[in-house]
C-alpha cells in the first residue's frame, strides 16, 4: 500500500485552502477552499485571462450602476474572480473589502453589502462567500454587523490574541493569523526565531479561542516553509501557497497532529476587549502594530493599482 503524502495526512485534521487566485493552479491542486486579496487579484488581472475578466467585470458593474466608478469596477472584478473560484472549489471563497476602508466601519459594511449584491447578480451562492476584512477595531465591528445580517466574514491580518478574541466576540466566521510575517518581523530584527514566534502566535490564538468555546475558525496563513505548516497540523484551516502544497504532496514522510479543539481545556474565564483595551493591547505590541499597518498599506497599494488598470479606456469600454 502506497504511503500517504504529508498533504494527505494533513487533510485528515485540517481543511486546506489555496493561497492563490490562479484558476489552473487551483484546479490542479484541488483544495477545499480558496482565498483572494488585492495582491492575488492584481496577479490575476495581469495574467492572460485578465482582459476577458475585465470585460465581464465592466458588464457586471453596469448591471449594478449605469455609470460605474473605479471602486465599483474593482468590486465587480473581485466578484467575477470569486464566482469563477466558486466553480472550482467545493468550499468557501474569501473576498476582500477595499483595504482603504479599514478604519471606517460604516463604509466597510456598505462595501461588503455591495460585494454580496454583485455576487447575487452573478447567481453565486453567497453563503459560500466570506467577506474578508482587516482586523482593525473598525473592521471587527463591521464584521459584527455583517454576521448579524447573515453575511459570513474572514478577519485577516491577525497578529495579536486581542484581535482574535475581539473577532470571536463579533462572531466572525473565520480569522487569518499570519505566521510568516510574524516570523519575518522577528528574524529581520536579529532576534532568535528558533522557536518560531509565528507558529507560537497561532498556537496561542488557537488555544485561547478553543478554550473559550468559540466557534470562530482559525486559519493559519502566510507560510515560509512546510515545517511551519506541519507545526500547525490540526489547526482548523491553513491557507497555503501552491509551491508549499506541492512540496507537501511530494513528501512521503510522517507528520503528527499538533492541535486539536477537542483536547483544549474549557476555561471559566471569558476573555473580552473593550475598544480602549483592544487599542492599548495592540499599541503595547510593536510587532502587531507594525505588521497590521504594513499589511493594510500593501493591500491599499495593490487595490489602487488594480483600480487604475480597470479604469483604462481599453478595459472600461
Would you tell me how many other CB atoms lie within 10 Å of the CB of residue 49?
Answer: 15
What does the alpha-carbon distance between residue 87 and residue 89 come to, in Å, rounded to a whole number?
Answer: 6
The phi-psi region of residue 65 (left if phi > 0; otherwise alpha if psi is between -120 and 50; otherwise beta) is beta
Please report which residue ranges of 170-196 form alpha helices under DSSP H.
179-188
What does the alpha-carbon distance between residue 239 and residue 176 come to, in Å, rounded to a whole number?
Answer: 9
What does the alpha-carbon distance between residue 264 and residue 211 come to, in Å, rounded to a whole number?
Answer: 5
The distance of Cα 90 from the centroid of its chain, to the nearest Å, equals: 17
Would you tell me how many other CB atoms lie within 10 Å of the CB of residue 225?
Answer: 14
Hey, which residues does 131 pair with through a beta bridge?
95, 153
The active-site residue, picked from 132, 144, 203, 210, is 132
C-alpha cell at 306: 488594480
Please say whether the beta carbons of 186 and 201 come within 8 A: no
Please say whether the beta carbons of 85 and 26 come within 8 A: yes
Give 33: exposed, middle or buried? Use CB within 10 Å, 0-12, 13-18, 19+: buried
What does the alpha-carbon distance between residue 123 and residue 53 come to, in Å, rounded to a whole number?
Answer: 17
For the question of residue 132 being annotated catalytic, the response is yes
Which uninterrupted H or E stretch holds 73?
Answer: helix 70-88
C-alpha cell at 234: 490540526
Q: How far does the chain reach from its first CA to its final CA, in angstroms?
A: 57
**Which residues are known catalytic residues?**
132
Amino acid at each position: 500500500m502506497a504511503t500517504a503524502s504529508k498533504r494527505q495526512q494533513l487533510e485528515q485534521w485540517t481543511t486546506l485552502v489555496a493561497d492563490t487566485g490562479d484558476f489552473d493552479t487551483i484546479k490542479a491542486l484541488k483544495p477545499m477552499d480558496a482565498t483572494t486579496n488585492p495582491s492575488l487579484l492584481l496577479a490575476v488581472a495581469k495574467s492572460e485571462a485578465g482582459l476577458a475578466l475585465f470585460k465581464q467585470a465592466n458588464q457586471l458593474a453596469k448591471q449594478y450602476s449605469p455609470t460605474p466608478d473605479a471602486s465599483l469596477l474593482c468590486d465587480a472584478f473581485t466578484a467575477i474572480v470569486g464566482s469563477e473560484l466558486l466553480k472550482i472549489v467545493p468550499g468557501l471563497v474569501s473576498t476582500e473589502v477595499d483595504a482603504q476602508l479599514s478604519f471606517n466601519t460604516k463604509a466597510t459594511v456598505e462595501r461588503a453589502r455591495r460585494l454580496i449584491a454583485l455576487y447575487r447578480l452573478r447567481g453565486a451562492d453567497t453563503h459560500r462567500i466570506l467577506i474578508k476584512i482587516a482586523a482593525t477595531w473598525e473592521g471587527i465591528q463591521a464584521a459584527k454587523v455583517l454576521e448579524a445580517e447573515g453575511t459570513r466574514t474572514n478577519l485577516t491580518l491577525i497578529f495579536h490574541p486581542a484581535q482574535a478574541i475581539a473577532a470571536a466576540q463579533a462572531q466572525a466566521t473565520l480569522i487569518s493569523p499570519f505566521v510568516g510575517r510574524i516570523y519575518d518581523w522577528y528574524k529581520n530584527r536579529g532576534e532568535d526565531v528558533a522557536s518560531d514566534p509565528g507558529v507560537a502566535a497561532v498556537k496561542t490564538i488557537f488555544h485561547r479561542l478553543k478554550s473559550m468555546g468559540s466557534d470562530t475558525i482559525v486559519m493559519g496563513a502566510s507560510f515560509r516553509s512546510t515545517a511551519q505548516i506541519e507545526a500547525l497540523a490540526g489547526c482548523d484551516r491553513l491557507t497555503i501557497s501552491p509551491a508549499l502544497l506541492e512540496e507537501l504532496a511530494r513528501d512521503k514522510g510522517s507528520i503528527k497532529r499538533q492541535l486539536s479543539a477537542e483536547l483544549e481545556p474549557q476555561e471559566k474565564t471569558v476573555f473580552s476587549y473593550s475598544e480602549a483595551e483592544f487599542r492599548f493591547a495592540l499599541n503595547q505590541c510593536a510587532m502587531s502594530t507594525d505588521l497590521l499597518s504594513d499589511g493594510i498599506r500593501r493591500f491599499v497599494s495593490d487595490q489602487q493599482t488594480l483600480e487604475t488598470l480597470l479604469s483604462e479606456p481599453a478595459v472600461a469600454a
